A and B are shown apart, each in its own frame.
Chain A
Amino acid sequence: MAVRIQVVPPRPKRGEIVEIRVLIQHNMETGYRTDMVGGVIPRNCINVFSCRYNGAEVFRADLSPGISANPLLQFHTVAEASGELEFSWMDDRGKQDSERARIAVSE
């Protein structure tokens, strides 16, 4: 599962609100589609996503087949200290993945 993460602005001042954009490559299978021989393709969606900022959770989402394939998530956090943003998610098959991004906070 490839993922793209953008932190805007990448070098925020302390206390500034930063926008975090996450785009995960995942087909978010709905469970309503059928394959070429008529069998139902089982549902396989990312069902939980979370973002931790230096270990503390700042954002969490429960997703469903109602979210498009290759889910896009944009949310915000306050830049408090330089460190690491850790993104983790899991799909219906139990496959977990995670990604990290650096955040450099200037005074």
Chain B
Amino acid sequence: MKRLQRRGFLACLASVIALPAAWSTGARAQQLRPLEPILGALTKGVPVRTGRVTLDLPQLADNGNAVLLKVSVESPMSATDHVKSIHLFSNRNPVAEMANFYLGPRAGRAQIVTRVRLAGSQTVTALAVLSDGTFWMDSAPIVVTLSSCMDES
């Protein structure tokens, strides 16, 4: 009798260990993937520099369904020197290109606030395209406890 309990306990323990593994391989678990090919389609070989762009993102999100995100770009936003567009990328979501925002000198300030869905812990990247043809980016890592895109509700 005592032996049976021990065996039952071991079986239970094994299933607990195996469960997260089964989850992560099943359904729509996304692997982290490089963004270079996606960025390359936009930049067409022009080097992307780091700086000028600030991506504000919480370090930890309890819920990936709505994560508040702010992108600001240092720019005078004049007719000759302004931000043309801001692009948001995820390296884990099923759709890597989350959003494109098109601005112009009439925006006055190159700053966008929105809420994004994140399918798990990952790095979010913001790319800014300036009127002088340069590309600037910033990335921010985020830990997402409960990821979006996987719920069945």
Q: Measuring CB to CB, which residues of chain A are less than 8 angstroms from any residue of chain B?
A: 17-18, 28, 30, 32-34, 53, 56, 58-69, 71-78, 80
Contacts and interface: CB of A to CB of B under 8 A. Distances in A.
A33 B108 contact: no
B149 A60 contact: no
Contacts of A72: 113-115
B143 interface: no
Contact size class for B? 20 to 34
Contacts of B88: 66
B108 A66 contact: no
Contacts, number: 96
Given A34-B152, A63-B99, A66-B98, A74 B106 contact: no
B123 interface: no
Interface string B27-52: 01000000000000000000000000
A68 B115 contact: yes
Given A32-B149, A33-B153, A75 B99 contact: no
